[in-house]
Structure formats: C-alpha cells, structure tokens
Amino acid sequence: MMTEPTDDFVRAVEATLFAAEQPMTVEQISNHLGQADVRPALAELERHYRARGVLLVERGKRWHFETAPDLAHLLRREKEDLRRLSRAATEVLAIVAYHEPVSRAEIEAIRGVQTAKGTLDVLMEAGWVRVAGRREVPGRPVIYATTPDFLAHFGLGSLKELPGLEELRAAGLLDPVDDDMIQTGLRPGKVPGEDEETAEDTAEDLDERDLFEEDDG
C-alpha cells in the first residue's frame, strides 16, 4: 500500500494535535499555525483516521486524537489476583448461607458486630452473594441471599447440605476456640461503629493476616 503524499499543512495540523496535551479548538490550532484555516485539514484528517486504530474526534468544539472505541478492550489487560476472603467476609458469607435471605441488620445482630458495607460488596464482587429484594417491613431493608455460583464454588447441591448445628457441635466446631476470642466478642463498653471491623481485625490471629496478603501468581 502506497500512501499518497500528504499536504504539509495537513501534516502540521496532525502533528499539532498529536503533541497537544489538551484537546484544541479550531481557533487554537489556527493560532498555532499562523492563523490559517484549519477546517479542511481537520476534515481530511478525520476522514483519514476513521479507518485506523486512532480516531480524530471533535468533542464540544475541541479536537483530539483518541484510540478507536472498538479497540478499547485491548488497552486494558486483566490480571487476576488470588485473594483469600477475610475472616469478617467469611463470617458474613456463612451467615447469609445459613439464614438467607437476611438483611444487613440481621447479619450484624447474629455476628454481634457491625459489618462494614465493603464486606458485602466483596461477597457480591466474588459472585457469591446477591441482593434478593427488600423485606416488607418498615424501612424496607435490602435482603441478601447466596447465588448458584456460591453453591458451585463450595461444591454444594443446595444449602440444605450445609452441616446443621448438631453436626457442627459433634465436629467440635461449636467449642469455644479460646477465651480471648470470646472475650473479644463480648468486650464490655465496646462502641459499635464502622471502625468495628478494624478493631476486630486487630484482635484476629496472625495467620489470617498472612492470608490477607495477595498471593500473586
């Protein structure tokens, strides 16, 4: 493919817009290039770039180059980081699974601590929890439930396959883990608030902290 020689003035407009740090109005380009009429050059450039990976576009009377919208996905590369759910998020997920549908206030009542909004967001981002409507009580709180992805991820046919309280007790999962933890949960004079989550995190064992770190790769 042989390109026709391009008019030097068109080339100058092209270079000016390429190097510009801001979109430019016709007047600005013209001022830059000795007051010449730049409209025909802009029209020609616009036509030329229409077929290319970069477009010359006018937005609000200002011209600039931008990458073609159909290629936008190429300019973003996704990288997946494996991240372990925090203890708080795991607890909230478990409560949703055992009690669904539940409102945030109910989750908080069961957990005994306030739940940061971010925790539910993480679970929804993970695709395990969804908004399942509103409860028809005063205030109409949003209620949450698990998703089919949740069942798939944990290898469950249905929520009924989650072990019941008796089974948990038999497995030793309802034994006090250690006194400190119980005391943390019952610490008197604790003021509930959004920063609760942080306070709790601090009291959590170090292992979890390690797990929090992103394992890249």
Q: Which of residues 43-82 bind other proteins (CB under 8 A)?
A: 64-69, 72, 75-82
Least distance CB 118 / other proteins (angstroms): 13
Mention every residue, 6+ apart, whose C-beta is less than 8 A from residue 211.
Answer: 84
Task: Give 113's DSSP letter.
Answer: S
Task: Give 163's DSSP letter.
Answer: -
Contact 99, 132 (CB under 8 A): no
Contacting a copy of itself (CB under 8 A), which of 33, 57, 110, 199?
33
Least distance CB 205 / other proteins (angstroms): 6
Contacting other proteins (CB under 8 A), which of 6, 11, 165, 194?
165
Mention every residue, 6+ apart, whose C-beta is less than 8 A from residue 102.
Answer: 95, 96, 110, 143, 144
Compute the distance between CA of residue 128 and CA of residue 93 in angstroms, rounded to an integer: 8
Q: Which is nearer to a copy of itself, 65 or 98 (CB)?
A: 65
Contact 29, 13 (CB under 8 A): yes
Provide the CA 189 distance to its chain's centre, in angstroms: 35
Binding mask 7-46 for other proteins (x = CB under 8 A): --------xx-xxxxx---------x--------------
Contacting other proteins (CB under 8 A), which of 63, 87, 103, 144?
87
Contacting a copy of itself (CB under 8 A), which of 22, 51, 79, 160?
51
